[in-house]
Amino acid sequence: MLMVDAGNTRVKWAIAQEGAAAGDWLAHGAVVHAELDSLAAAWAGHAVTRAIVSNVAGAAMRDKLAALLPVALPEWFGAQAELAGLRNRYRNPAQLGADRFAAALGARALVPGKALVVATCGTATTVDGVTAGGDFVGGMILPGLGLMLSSLARGTAQLPETSAAATLPPSFADNTLDAIRSGCIAAQAGAIERAFAALPAELCIVSGGAAGHVAPALSLPCRMLDNIVLVGLHAAALAPTSS
């Protein structure tokens, strides 16, 4: 069984035996969009009979993936009103992004019975709430850390372009590059902490490419989990009601 998470920057994938627990994979990997064609070779050594795909990268990406997938009829994952014990309380359940619903499914599969904030820090940062009883209550979307950093350079005459550093900058930085980093990371962490208090949550699940920069800035119980969308796709594939 193949799970594919096509995001705005990278395409992540995992392969599991039929019936394996969510997150228990034989192989997994990720490529940027420019390396998409390499996926066929990565998947060729596995006898894939089923594929479930979350795609938020548009119609062109869907067409490219359809040509590469090793099965003729992949399952294109989308948000539902209820799946695997998770009830979608979005006003229009089908409008919820496939990746956000899958991330919530994955978080609940790994940490059942707890009120969770699920923060996925990628090109965009999404911060969603899941109650202990299994209600996806909605959330917020904001520019991701990389977009925040680059937008300051594009939109101002005096501020330089920078990227997140390995070391968390001080709250009151004494140089411009660290001040930019500090402000953008604080904005990410502040949104997550605001959601955590509003739910209120017991644990925050942090995933995505910028998770390693954002999680250290959080002053709340958190757990970093790679590939939470893939875990959710796996949980969806195991659910009796999934197609």
Residue 243 reports pLDDT greater than 50:
no
* pLDDT for res 1: 95
| Coarse DSSP helix, strand, coil percentages of the chain, rounded to the nearest 5 percent | 35, 25, 40
Mean of per-residue pLDDT scores for the chain: 94
Average pLDDT rounded to a whole number, residues 97-120: 97
Q: Which residues are annotated as a binding site?
A: 5-12, 90, 97-100, 123, 176
Query: Which of 4, 226, 14 minimizes the C-alpha distance to 120?
Result: 226
Q: For 9-24, what is each residue's pLDDT tens digit?
A: 999 999 999 889 999 9
Average pLDDT rounded to a whole number, residues 33-62: 95
Q: Which residues are annotated as a binding site for substrate?
A: 90, 97-100, 176
| DSSP states along 118-150 | EEEESSEEEEEEE-TTSEEEEEEEEE-HHHHHH
Domain definitions of the chain by residue range: 113-226
Side-chain-facing half-sphere of 167: CA atoms under 13 Å: 5
Q: For 160-180, what is each residue's pLDDT tens digit?
A: 777 787 788 889 999 999 999
Give every strand in the sheet of 86-88, ordered side by side. 82-83, 86-88, 135-143, 124-130, 116-121, 203-207, 222-224
Q: Residues 24, 99, 174, 178: which is the catalytic one?
A: 99
* pLDDT for res 5: 97
Class of domain 113-226: alpha beta
* pLDDT for res 167: 83
* pLDDT for res 241: 53
Q: Of 75-84, 125-134, 158-167, 195-204, give the lowest mean pLDDT range.
A: 158-167
**How big is the chain, counted in residues?**
243
Separation of alpha carbons 67 and 62, rounded Å: 9
- Say what percent of the chain tops pLDDT 70: 99
Active site residue 99: yes
At residue 242 the predicted structure's pLDDT band, cuts being 50, 70 and 90, is: very low
